Structure 1
Amino acid sequence: MNHVADRVSSEELPNFQQTPSDEAIMEGMLRVRFDYAQRQTKDYSHLFRQKSRLELIRLAFYQICVEFTYAAETALASPIILSNGLSHTFMTMIWAFSPTLGFVFAPMIATLSDQTRSRWGRRRPVLLALGTAVVCGLMIMPHGKTLGLWLGDEDVPVEQMSGFRWGILLTTVGLMLTDFDIETSSGIARTYFMDMCVLSDHAKVLSTAMIIGGIGGSGGYLLGAIDWQQTDLGSLMGSNEATVFAVVVLVMIIGLSLTLTSFREGMFEAEKARQLAIYSISPKVPVDVVKKNYGSVPVEMDDTVQEGEMTFANFFRNLRHMPRSLMILYLTQFLAQFGYLSYCMYFTDFVGSAVFGGDVAAPVGSPELALYEEGVRFGCWGMALFTISAALYSTVIGKLIKYFGGRTIFIGGLLINSVGMLAMALFTERWMVFVCCPGVGIAYATMYAVPFLAISQYHAKNSFAMKDGQYVESSQRRGFGADVSMLSSMLFLSQLIIALSIGSVIDAFESNSGARVEIFSTMMVGKVQ
């Protein structure tokens, strides 16, 4: 009897082993592809394995450049533009140029990246070009007024400036290059980060990018908080702005080089589709066909295969037929960016004028101008606190999402920021700067983690909707880079609307305090909805 039982057990055991778990299937497929990729002349096996924390830091190091640039731009660009004699209305119209270009062209650039078949990869050539343009913009923007004097502008006080000025044109060109290219490159960079990682590392690489980006942003704002004109370096460079932007250029070159040399791109669209097929395995998705082929999945790569290539025609077709889930995600991100950008574009100017009582148009050497400049530096300390809080919150947001869910964390983070900023608008006290800025950091970490993870999951499962608890497979051919870039383009759209409206409100109130109440109240209502 025991002999028969043993024989039955030994016969049944192989049948049981022939039906492995979904996790075993995924691990097995990745292992097969890893072994195959490792044997190639150009090893690309890193695409099929998890990365160490140090590898993720090097991969995402460009995010430090992004945040450093954001810090310098948001803290100092508005004072630079106003110093050329422009009103708030015209200043905000200048801010509208780059988001107009970005909203139209950033998704197209991302689609071009999806189609690129360079030996250097799909993302890195585009990222290099955009990074180079950012460096050019950073070098022009703080020196626009000086270059204008060389080209014939009159050297007169701000209140006497009138007519065409080369300084305004050059400063605008520098701002457009910096603002458009840094945000466009940020979307491309995030796509590159996730392209180089297996799905289980996506949340980790995005949180790593936020953490080190917070460090970079803090460094950028702290640079702006220092009075460099009292130092030898500041005297050599000529101004606080020129000194800060020179440091940002150096950081940009180093960070871009580290990221571009971190991992080789070696995956073509056909193989990408096969890899995503691995990740689409889920308890809610039938896997019978996959299990039948377990252990015999083909891994040969054909570089010439271009089936279902993501073309510009497909891109525009997808815009017209966007899944409802993506439409809601983009709308929510737009509202979040609308509130965040109102903070970035006007905060240091708000602190300098409304909190400290200074005046950017006051004569050089006057107490009013000194108060304004002191307020700008004080605002930089608050913005440094915002980036530090973003970095700290990024270390726990992944666990919070698992425990409370992405929707709860997303709405909660934005509401905290809304309440804090409304209080800042109503109570213009110095201590409120340090009370409210951490809430911005929480919102920033939230809106640059949850939506990107959602798109990653959509594409990994090739599903943008659910029916009866089951994922519905999408028949659309959507580019991952294009969808990520479209999410980033919500920043351009919100910046465009702010730029075309809020400056007029500030000039109408003859103070940006009224605009503060209006913009943050609107932001709060939008986020609650």
Structure 2
Amino acid sequence: MEGPRLVVPVVPSEEDVLEGMLTRRFQYAKGIQGSSRYHSIFRTKSRWELIRLSLLIVGIEFTFATESAFVAPILLGMGLPHTLMTMMWAMSSIIGVLFVPIVASKSDRLRAKWGRRRPVLLALGVAMLLGLLLIPRGRLVGEAIGLRSMAWGAALTTIGVMITDPSAGASIGLCRTYAMEVCTIGDQSRVLSTMMLIGGLGGSLGFLFGAVDWRALPIGEYFTSDESAVFTANWILLLVGLLSTLTSFPEIPLPVQERDELLRPVTKRALKNKLQRLRGDVHEVQTELHMDIIGFRQFVRNVIRMPRAMRILCATQCLTNMGHLTFCLNFTDFVASTVFDGDVQAPPESLEFVLYQQGVRFACFGMALYLASASLSSLLIEKATKRVGARAVYVTGLMAHCVGMLSVGFLHYRAVVLLCCSLAGIMYATVYSIPILLISHYHSKNSFDVVDGKCVESTEPRGFGADVSILNSILCIAQVCPNVTPFHGIVLTLLFSYPKLCISIITRGYTVNHFARDGRTD
């Protein structure tokens, strides 16, 4: 006679559990009076909805493009030497280093009815719009208020950059965080790739606008210069993108999430908790709501006591962007001066000045190609990462840019400039998407370290938005490092093509080796 059979309870798959959690919250949010507007957070988004959610990135990338293309020529055209011009970039970067983490930390704890991210994005968007009005009109504003010297015009333009640049840097991280929080787990990688794609298109559009000779067109008579026309288009596009993103999906306010568990977004950590309960596991991960909300003191402690995986990720980002930002901020002036043999300080009707203007427009076209290449590369990153791993994709992007920088450093031909821009786009797509995915991966497992092949659960609360902001602050540090020293400006003056070459090669060589040896991507 056979004994009683042991019945093993069937545990649903992770996909089934996730679908059940989302369906329950969707129906619950849809049926509650006053909370029905939150149900869209718990459903899969269409591609058009992801594009609408990401439109602010288009405006921000357009802003970065116009700044990269025109700020250096504007300041140099006022008579500012390269030494002071690079110091100006350092000033805005220093503000960004201090400003971005504080904004992100406050955003994590904001208890506004409109949510945690959108009120901050609105304030930053208004700041960017004000800065964009000032950058191309610094000299005119100075003359209007009786300050006619070159120093005052450059100072007002610098103030515009110091308002716009840190605000854009903080906004891009918060926009990504906002998108990750209002999307389901399955949509998170889709929204990041969408942001990368249309952000690249936005930057390409910005550089293409810079490549147009607006004074030769009928509409050009309404603007005082090409720079004024491009910055006006930038202002309009940024406003449209800001309104589109802020009205795309509602955020669930922090007090509402604290009161009602079924109105909290389903994160990977919440899914892990649910699976552990179904499997009868006594141990449960700390509630993700409390793990993601940290005070400023805890934020500072997190920066000081950063996990090894985060330290390596920040180090690679810093070294990579030291070379990349040097390339971006000086590229138009480099092409106009070295490849086209132009002179920004020559008389307006002289051949040298005309060649310089042609060089700036050609460089803008090259940078548009650079961001178009980044957009196309972003379509392949998700599949490539799943196939060969994040480390291989990251290193490949860096090596592609090394080849481009070596080429343009020694061969000052127009075709080589376009090749360099195309290869730089591959690097841009990897450097600005994979680190965000890695941070999301770390937070989803609540683990930043691996011991004996197993993830070690973190006991230190860390906010996802705060960690993303730390990564964005690294961009500012990377911009400060080469620009804060007068030596960099002196070298730019004497040997204009070599700083970008040397810094890029050295930093990428170290970054590739360091990341390949120590970076954690599991």
TM-score under structure 2 length normalisation: 0.91
* 2:207 pairs with 1:216: no
The CA RMSD over aligned residues, in Å, is 2.6
Equivalent in 25, 30, 37 of residue 17 of structure 2: 25
Matching of residues 122-161 of structure 1 within 5 Å: 122-154=116-148
Q: 1:507: Cα distance to partner?
A: 4.7
User: CA distance change for structure 1 residues 422 and 394 in 2, over 3 Å: closer, same or farther?
Assistant: same
Q: 1:273: Cα distance to partner?
A: 7.6
Name the residue aligned to 1:379.
Answer: 363
* 2:73 pairs with 1:82: no
Letter in 2 for 1:418: C
Name the residue aligned to 1:109.
Answer: 103
Spell out, residue by residue over 1:12-65, the C-alpha distance to the aligned partner (whole angstroms, 9 max, x if none). 8xx556422233222222222222222222221222222111111111111111
Name the residue aligned to 2:174.
Answer: 188
Spell out, residue by residue over 1:460-491, the C-alpha distance to the aligned partner (whole angstroms, 9 max, x if none). 11111122222211111111111001111111
Letter in 1 for 2:192: L
Tell me, in whole angstroms, the C-alpha distance in 2 between the residues paired with 1:128 and 1:333. 27
* 2:35 pairs with 1:47: no
Identity %, equivalent residues? 43
Q: Which runs of 5+ in 1 are unaligned?
A: 156-160, 300-304
* 2:317 pairs with 1:333: yes
Equivalent in 266, 270, 292 of residue 275 of structure 1: 266
* 2:190 pairs with 1:204: yes
* 2:279 pairs with 1:291: yes
Q: 1:395: Cα distance to partner?
A: 0.9
Name the residue aligned to 1:158.
Answer: none
User: CA distance change for structure 1 residues 273 and 232 in 2, over 3 Å: closer, same or farther?
Assistant: same
How many corresponding residue pairs? 502
* 2:503 pairs with 1:512: no
Secondary structure class of the residue paired with 1:395: helix
Query: Are the aligned partners of 1:88 and 1:503 in contact in 2 as well (CA < 8 Å)?
Result: no
Name the residue aligned to 1:498.
Answer: 482
Letter in 2 for 1:102: G
Spell out, residue by residue over 1:166-212, the C-alpha distance to the aligned partner (whole angstroms, 9 max, x if none). 21111011111111111111111110010111222111100000111
Letter in 2 for 1:90: L
Q: 1:220: Cα distance to partner?
A: 0.6
Query: Are the aligned partners of 1:276 and 1:461 in contact in 2 as well (CA < 8 Å)?
Result: no
Tell me, in whole angstroms, the C-alpha distance in 1 between the residues paired with 2:292 and 2:245. 29
Q: 1:355: Cα distance to partner?
A: 0.5
Tell me, in whole angstroms, the C-alpha distance in 2 between the residues paired with 1:509 and 1:317. 41
Matching of residues 79-478 of structure 1 within 5 Å: 79-154=73-148, 165-266=151-252, 268=254, 270=258, 271=261, 275-276=266-267, 278=269, 281=272, 287-292=275-280, 309-478=293-462
Tell me, in whole angstroms, the C-alpha distance in 2 between the residues paired with 1:307 and 1:362. 58
Q: 1:150: Cα distance to partner?
A: 2.0
* 2:30 pairs with 1:38: yes
User: CA distance change for structure 1 residues 372 and 33 in 2, over 3 Å: closer, same or farther?
Assistant: same
Q: 1:501: Cα distance to partner?
A: 3.5
Q: Which runs of 5+ in 2 are unaligned?
A: 514-522
* 2:469 pairs with 1:485: yes
Spell out, residue by residue over 1:62-106, the C-alpha distance to the aligned partner (whole angstroms, 9 max, x if none). 111111111111001110111121100000101111110111120
Tell me, in whole angstroms, the C-alpha distance in 2 between the residues paired with 1:117 and 1:286. 27
User: CA distance change for structure 1 residues 395 and 508 in 2, over 3 Å: closer, same or farther?
Assistant: closer
User: CA distance change for structure 1 residues 453 and 479 in 2, over 3 Å: closer, same or farther?
Assistant: same
Secondary structure class of the residue paired with 1:466: strand
Tell me, in whole angstroms, the C-alpha distance in 1 between the residues paired with 2:175 and 2:154. 31
Name the residue aligned to 2:519.
Answer: none
Letter in 1 for 2:277: V
Spell out, residue by residue over 1:234-257, the C-alpha distance to the aligned partner (whole angstroms, 9 max, x if none). 221110000000000000110110
Query: Are the aligned partners of 2:64 and 2:203 in contact in 1 as well (CA < 8 Å)?
Result: yes
Query: Are the aligned partners of 1:425 and 1:520 in contact in 2 as well (CA < 8 Å)?
Result: no
Secondary structure class of the residue paired with 2:342: coil
Larger radius of gyration: 1
User: CA distance change for structure 1 residues 469 and 23 in 2, over 3 Å: closer, same or farther?
Assistant: farther
Equivalent in 59, 63, 68 of residue 69 of structure 1: 63
TM-score under structure 1 length normalisation: 0.89
Q: 1:309: Cα distance to partner?
A: 4.0
Tell me, in whole angstroms, the C-alpha distance in 2 between the residues paired with 1:329 and 1:344. 22
Spell out, residue by residue over 1:472-521, the C-alpha distance to the aligned partner (whole angstroms, 9 max, x if none). 11111111111001111111001111212377455575241232332233
Letter in 2 for 1:405: G
Q: 1:145: Cα distance to partner?
A: 1.1
User: CA distance change for structure 1 residues 231 and 191 in 2, over 3 Å: closer, same or farther?
Assistant: same
User: CA distance change for structure 1 residues 524 and 71 in 2, over 3 Å: closer, same or farther?
Assistant: same
Letter in 2 for 1:265: E
Q: 1:338: Cα distance to partner?
A: 1.4
User: CA distance change for structure 1 residues 392 and 507 in 2, over 3 Å: closer, same or farther?
Assistant: same
Secondary structure class of the residue paired with 2:58: helix
- More deviation in 285-294 or 256-265? 285-294
Letter in 1 for 2:330: Y
